[in-house]
Structure 1
Amino acid sequence: MKITNLAILFVCIFLPFMLVLDMRTRDQETVLQLKSQYTAALRTAVQDASKMLNINELQEYEAGYQSVKFFKVNKELALDTFFRTLYLNFGVENDPIGQGTLASYIPVIGITDYDGFFLYTMSEYKDQTGQNLAKPMWRPKKPYAYSDGSGNSINFTLDSYVHAYDAASGKWVEGFREDLQGITSIPLLNDPVNFDSVRRSTIIRSIQRDLAYFINAYNEYAIRNGISYTFKLPEIPHEEWTNTINDVGIIAFIQGLPIGEQMYNNYALGGGRLVKKTNFYGAIDPQTGIKYYYKTTCGFPYQVEEIFDHAKDAAAAGYIPKECVNGGS
């Protein structure tokens, strides 16, 4: 067989494979780009919403009442801000159908308040005619509740303030643990070493348990609406949970959102912190194309692409550090 014939045969055999491989490579690049955009959109929506938690409807609920962490969150404003920012960044701000489709991939949104937590998820109810309907709504506030084997119970808060039932006296008491120490028979209130660890683990377990339950329950609604994805609570590192319960905050999930042949699944947490932690912008210098990360207190005139909670996350995403002096450029 002539060399030219072999060459033609080679091209005929391998060209289709090369074309398919090239198409798959480009599809994968598109998927990665969309995932990055979706993650930035979700994080930005959560960050914007968390800022709204600080805006109180009534002045008597401002931080500083009884406790430096006492804070009545404005969950309605936070929720409205979350969806407004999310729809804007997904390009469906003027598309009600697109908004409904996007919202259907959000099984639950959670807000940690000072003395309990709220979940916004699909709930069933009966209308005036007795017909069963379903729509997303706020579940009743759930306390951070703990009980021991002696019948004592404690409702924790985001600090050491408690509402506790003393089974021995049959009375409710409230106050900071250090003020109640020695005046009740509740062992945990008299144990400063273990109190904070039990408080934190109780809060985290309470939130995790309800999130898992309502995300799983969301599958029934999803099936009825043609969503084949199985929703479930993702693994969230313990460090992130610990940071979440330091102050009031918000957590949101997007699951099963189709991207090509794949599914986009992610979550984001944001804190309406009284003592603000410093986040980091991931931005691009429009003149050089260089990707920088820097504190959100800096005033660089760059195009912000992402928001990071930690510098190491920004570095892992390909951004290089840039310092500023006194919060300015």
Structure 2
Amino acid sequence: MKTTNLAIIFLLIVVPIYLVLDMRTSDQKVVNRLEAQYAAALHTAVQDAAFVLKQNEYQENEASYQSSKYFSANKQAAIETFWKTMNLNFGAGEEPVAQGVLAAYVPVIAVTDYNGFHIYSFTEYTDAVGNKVYKHEWKPEKPYAYSDQAGNSINFTLDSYVTVFEARTGTWLKGYREELEGLTDIPLLNDENQFDEMRRRTIVNAVQKDVAYFINQHNKFALRLGSYYDFKIPLIPNEEWANSVDDIGIMAFIQGLPVGHQFYNNYAFGSGRIVKKNVVYGTVDDRTGLKYYYRSNYPLNYRVQETFTSEKDAAAAGYMPTNTLNKK
């Protein structure tokens, strides 16, 4: 066989392979770029939503001084912020159809609140004209509930505050674990380490279970909408789950989004951590009638007259620091 013929055969074999590999390489570059772009968009949306979680229109829902975690999550404002950021960064903008398509790739969003958690997932209902509608809606709040073999039950929170049913006496108790220690025959309340371990495990298991259930339910809705992608809960390290129960927070899952010849799957956790700020109290010494101020983390046995956000404001109102009180 002539050399030229061999060269032609070689080119006929190698060139198509090269072109295919080059196309795949280019496609992978596009996939990698889009995945990085989508990951940034998802995490930004969750962080924006987490920030809004701690904003409340009602003062009574703000964090109390007893616990920095006693806080009612503003889940509706958070979800609106989430979708606003998602639609903007994924290019859906103000277009309802594009927004609906994007929403179909978000099977579940979960919010961990102080007393329980909320699931935001697809729901099927019939509209006013009889059409089937599939739309994300909030499910009723679920408590962080635990029960032992003796029939005792505990509703946990994000800190040590509990609502307890003692089976032996048939009574309900409320309070912080340290306040209830020794008052019941429930072993868990008398061991701080076991209590915190069980509290975290109960919260994580409850959220995991519902997230898995509603992601699986999403497959039914997706099939009716023409998608054949198999939605399922991703593998998430236990550490990430454990960190999610430290404060109110939000977690979102996106799955099945076409990227080249692949599908984009990811999740993001966001914390609405509340940093408790010590306030400044103004008090009056009954013996002398003099006014003093002190921080809330330095309690004194004096009746609080006024509350300030800083020592400067307290001093401007005529209060003196407590170190002058100690010199009297």
Please confirm whether the aligned pair reaches a TM-score higher than 0.5, indicating the same fold. Answer: yes
* More divergent stretch after superposition (183-192 vs 4-13): 4-13
- Percent identity, aligned pairs only, is 58
Q: C-alpha separation between the residues in 2 aligned to 1:71 and 1:247?
A: 9
Superposed CA offset, 1:8-35 (max 9, x none): 3322221111111111110011111111
- Distance in 2, matches of 1:29 and 1:128, equals 47
What residue in structure 2 maps to residue 77 of structure 1?
77
Matched residue, 1:214:
214
User: Matches of residues 301-316 of structure 1 in structure 2 within 5 Å?
Assistant: none
Which amino acid counterpart does residue 156 of structure 1 have in structure 2? F
Partner of 1:200, secondary structure, is helix
Match of 1:246 in 2: 246
Contact 2:68 2:275 in 1 (8 A): no
The answer for the alignment partner of 2:280 in structure 1 is none
In structure 1, distance between residues paired with 2:14 and 2:129: 66
The SS at the match of 1:255 is strand
SS in 2 for 1:257: strand
Q: Once the two structures are superposed, what CA deviation does each residue of 1:183-240 show, in whole Å capped at 9, x if it has no partner?
A: 1222211222310000000000000011111111111101100110111111110110
| Corresponding residue SS for 1:203 | helix
Residue of structure 2 in register with 1:201 after alignment: 201
Whole-angstrom distance in 2 between the partners of 1:59 and 1:36 = 40
Deviates more, 1:210-219 or 1:128-137: 128-137
Over the residues paired in the alignment, what is the CA RMSD in angstroms? 1.7
Identify the residue that residue 180 of structure 1 maps to in structure 2.
180
Moved more, 44-53 or 181-190: 181-190
Q: What whole-Å deviation, never above 9, does each CA across 1:126-181 have from its counterpart, x for those lacking one?
A: 55688765421000000000001111110000010001111122111111000000
| Amino acid paired to 2:120 | Y
* Alignment correspondent of 2:308: none
Provide the residue aligned with 1:54 in structure 2.
54
Q: Does 1:271 align with 2:302?
A: no
- TM-score between both structures, scaled by the size of structure 2: 0.81
- CA–CA distance in 1 between the matches of 2:142 and 2:192? 25
Secondary structure of the residue aligned to 1:273 is coil
Task: Find the counterpart in structure 2 of residue 287 from structure 1.
Answer: none
SS at match of 2:110: strand
1:224-235 equivalent positions in 2, closer than 5 A: 224-235=224-235
User: What stretches of structure 2 of length at least 5 have no aligned partner?
Assistant: 277-328
Q: Is the partner of 1:212 in helix, strand or coil?
A: helix
Q: Paired residue for 1:326?
A: none
**Structure 1: 5+ residue runs without aligned partners?**
277-329
Q: d(CA) in 2 for partners of 1:126 and 1:91?
A: 29
The CA deviation string for residues 234-272 of structure 1, in whole angstroms up to 9 with x for no partner, is: 111011011111000000000011111111010000000
**TM-aligned CA deviation for residue 119 of structure 1:** 0.5
- The residue identity in structure 2 corresponding to 1:223 is L
Q: Tell me, in whole angstroms, the C-alpha distance in 2 between the residues paired with 1:130 and 1:22.
A: 51
Counterpart mapping for 1:129-148 below 5 A: 133-148=133-148
Q: Quick check: which has more Rg, 1 or 2?
A: 2
1:262 paired residue number = 262
Aligned partner of residue 14 in structure 1, secondary structure: helix
Aligned to 2:293: none
If the length of structure 1 is used for normalisation, what is the TM-score? Answer: 0.80
Q: 1:128 to 1:38 in 2, by over 3 A?
A: closer
Q: SS state of the match for residue 165, structure 2? A: strand
The CA distance in 1 between the partners of 2:12 and 2:262, in whole Å, is 31
Number of residue equivalences? 276
Equivalent-residue separation in structure 1 for 2:5 and 2:39 (angstroms): 51
